[in-house]
Amino acid sequence: MAADARNQLNAALAPAAPLVEPLADAAGPRDAPRPRVAHGCWYPSSDPRGEHVAFICDRDGAPQLWTGPVGADDAHLLDTGPDHVTEVSWSPDGRWIAYTAAPGGSGHTRVLCVRPDGSDRRVLAGAEPGSSAYLGCWAPDGSALAVTVAEPLRQDGDPFVDASPPAGWTERDGHATLLDASRPGSAAGDRPPARDRLTAYLLDPAGTTAPELLADETEAATLRVCDLSQDGRLALLRRGPRGRREAVVMRRADRTPTCVLRVADGDPWIGRFSSDARTVWLRSDHDREFAALLALRLDGADGQKELSVVAAHDAYDLELLAVVENGRRAALAWNDGGVSRLETIPLTDGWAGPPPRRVELAHEVVTRVTPAGPDGMMIALSGSRRRPGVWTVTPSAPPARTPWSARDRDSVPQGMDPVRPVPLRATARDGLLLGGWYHRAPGRGPGEPAPCVLHLHGGPEEQERPVFDPLFQELLGRGLDVFAPDVRGSSGWGRSFVDADLGEGRFAAIDDVADCAMHAVASGLADPRRLAVMGHSYGGYLTLASLVWHPDLFRTGITVCGMSDFATFFAGTEPWLAESAAHKYGHPEWDRALLRALSPMSRVDELRVPLLAVHGEHDTNVPPGESEQIVNAARARGLVAELLLLRGEGHDFRRADNRRLFRRTAAAWMQRWLLG
């Protein structure tokens, strides 16, 4: 559609651009440490020749920035610091590697750059107190990097700077402990939700060229620069809250949007310009149930001239899009019921050409596709029987595992075999078909009902996939089955399924959990007297909601970084997350009654079973107070309730020692209440 005044991205007063801050070279040896046999490698980004790769690896106990040659096992650390790395991007000229890191595991990330040899490390954005930053694309010549900076605003519109850390924040590297949950939480529910500003810049890593302001929005949910045209005239932006993402073609000279089109949720890298900037390739569900590859032809004024479907499937989504082989082909990863299908198609004169070429995969799920040199690509794979790894793909050979990725047989201790899950479909009480994966404990007979843990994913738009999960393996090793369902609101099953939990539809999503549990029982898999439920983030919320809406169904529950009260969640979370969450859950002011009715704290008197809450102390997405208040409320009602607060962690647990402590504590808790 054409752009109008409502789509303006530049504010009247431009914010101050971030300053490049040189850092000392990373302390300590960057040589490969003693290898952690069971490690994962993911998020690859290749150098321009396709000979070396930068990637994220937890080989040394935490997700850090590594680099290594494609064909040899001499990978080494580039940044030995403790901050968790979340994104990586090698510059097109080969001179820099940019990455996003999360100090203390929190949601306040910053963007850094380093030379491929580990020298000249520097912070580009996100160093200011209270701010956060994340990667965009590189300029085609590698001279500059697009970044987005998020900062909260006071009610008068000025940047809000609070240099003090949140209550309970610690800089120490101590151990996690079970707490009594008696320390007071913040009075977040008494504060109005903060406003925010998202600003996109083009920054010179060397700091010799002044930053260029690309776009600026207030009260925004997301803003990412996905591509810049080869001629430098246009930028492709992704903006909007979950469920309402948009691709914006913007003219850089005056920062004016010329074309706006709906795009799909999921991977933020939603498209690319063709080499002549006359076509934009987009992963979009515009007017569609499932995301497809669309070609957006631009007219002489850079507005929409024609929109065409290039590649589509009637029953599954296009999940990942990458333009490879110097723009000659597109790599497409399709999500078929949770399993990836990878293919490449030629791009000719801005439009699709001959039929696709299938790429055979060694494992079930593709998590990233990226170009590697003039003819190849790198793919990150996960599967039910291995930890994440990186593979090289060339037109003339099948995918090959990189030597520094862990071998399949090293995923679990010797003598154990990972459990391969099987798909299990359930029908909700209103007739909606639900998906999921069932993991059967080793040695369990086919007709033997087992103690079963329902595991609920986050999002809500995430999807359960057939991938190796050490937590599941820990539970299975103790004789507990795991059923991981996709209740309404999950991705992978079409746009209507994703939107089915909006507003009052969330009550039906809570019922879906009970319906999935009873389906496992009716199928002869689960013992109705020994059911439990747990989940992370939104799955943690859904765990609490299931316990108070269906109090006689489960014997225990574990909430991990889950919301317990929407009022305190919206007041305490990051402003840009609140903007996005309001579309999914309801607006904290306009939908206050609905949110109160949906909050587990409003029905805490119905809680009847033991509860374990787990939280990262530096979680800024869902503040730890969400777990503290539900544990306190449970204890006040005479129930067994404990809180495990993990030191040095945020919303996702990254350190190997903390992950191990979490899964062993969770498995022991389930064993205690289901098998004891």
For residue range 105-118, list pLDDT tens digits in order.
777 899 999 999 99
CA distance linking residue 475 with residue 14, whole number of Å: 52
436 found inside a domain: yes
387 found inside a domain: no
357 found inside a domain: no
Q: pLDDT value at position 190?
A: 45
* pTM, full prediction: 0.88
Mean pLDDT of 24-31: 56
Q: pLDDT value at position 354?
A: 73
The token duo for 293 is: 């590859």
Q: Do you know the residue count of the chain? A: 676
pLDDT averaged over the chain?
88
* Higher-confidence position of 184 and 240: 240
Residue-wise pLDDT for 600-634, tens only, equals: 999 999 999 999 999 999 999 999 999 999 999 99
Instruction: Please report which residue ranges of 442-486 form alpha helices under DSSP H.
Output: 470-477
Q: pLDDT value at position 290?
A: 97
Q: How far apart are the first and last CA of the chain?
A: 61
Residue-wise pLDDT for 307-359, tens only, equals: 999 999 999 999 999 999 888 899 999 999 999 999 999 987 645 467 889 99
Q: pLDDT value at position 37?
A: 60
* pLDDT range class, residue 68, cuts 50, 70, 90: very high
* Higher-confidence position of 164 and 101: 101
Mean pLDDT of 206-213: 92
Mean pLDDT of 160-178: 42
The candidate with the shortest Cα–Cα distance to 15, out of 125, 91, 104, is 125
Please provide the DSSP assignment of 234-278 as one string: EEEEEES-TT--EEEEEETTTTEEEEEEE--SSSS--EEE-TTSS
Answer yes or no: is pLDDT of 175 > 50.
Answer: no
658 found inside a domain: yes
Burial of residue 31, with CB atoms counted within 10 A of its CB: 0-12 exposed, 13-18 middle, 19 or more buried = exposed
Residue 86's H or E segment, with its range, is: strand 84-90
Q: pLDDT value at position 14?
A: 57
Weakest-pLDDT range from 18-32, 241-255, 467-481: 18-32
Answer yes or no: is pLDDT of 191 > 70.
Answer: no
Residues 539, 560: contact at Cβ < 8 Å?
yes
Q: pLDDT value at position 218?
A: 85
The CA-based dihedral angle spanning residues 567, 546, 499, 331, taken in that order and rounded to the nearest 10 degrees: 110
* pLDDT range class, residue 242, cuts 50, 70, 90: confident
Distance of CA 202 to the CA centre of its chain: 24
Task: Tell me the HSE value of 449 on the side-chain side, using a 13 A CA sphere.
Answer: 15
* Higher-confidence position of 389 and 187: 389
169 found inside a domain: no
Residue-wise pLDDT for 641-659, tens only, equals: 999 999 989 999 988 899 9
Residues 614, 559: contact at Cβ < 8 Å?
yes
Residue-wise pLDDT for 407-417, tens only, equals: 777 666 655 77
444 found inside a domain: yes
Answer yes or no: is pLDDT of 171 > 80.
Answer: no
Answer yes or no: is pLDDT of 635 > 90.
Answer: yes
Q: pLDDT value at position 31?
A: 55
Q: pLDDT value at position 646?
A: 96
Q: pLDDT value at position 163?
A: 40
Answer yes or no: is pLDDT of 165 > 70.
Answer: no
Domain span at 599: 422-674
The token duo for 47 is: 């150098």
Rg (alpha carbons) of the chain, rounded to whole number: 24
Please provide the DSSP assignment of 40-65 as one string: -EEEEEE-TTSSEEEEEE-TTSS-EE
CA distance linking residue 584 with residue 500, whole number of Å: 10
Weakest-pLDDT range from 29-43, 240-254, 393-407, 550-564: 29-43
Number of domains comprising the chain:
1
Q: pLDDT value at position 195?
A: 52
375 found inside a domain: no
Q: pLDDT value at position 80?
A: 83
CA distance linking residue 225 with residue 247, whole number of Å: 10
Mean pLDDT of 169-196: 44
The CATH number that applies at residue 462 is: 3.40.50.1820
Answer yes or no: is pLDDT of 60 > 70.
Answer: yes
Write b or e for each residue in 95-112: b if 16 or more Cβ atoms lie within 10 A of its Cβ, otherwise e: bbbbbbbbbbbbbbbbbb
213 found inside a domain: no
- Alpha-carbon separation of residue 138 from 55, 142, 217 (angstroms): 17, 6, 21
Instruction: Write down the residue that tokens 């005479």 correspond to.
Output: 638
* pLDDT range class, residue 8, cuts 50, 70, 90: very low
Instruction: Write down the residue that tokens 């208040």 correspond to.
Output: 629
Weakest-pLDDT range from 17-21, 128-132, 153-157, 421-425: 153-157
Residues 549, 510: contact at Cβ < 8 Å?
yes
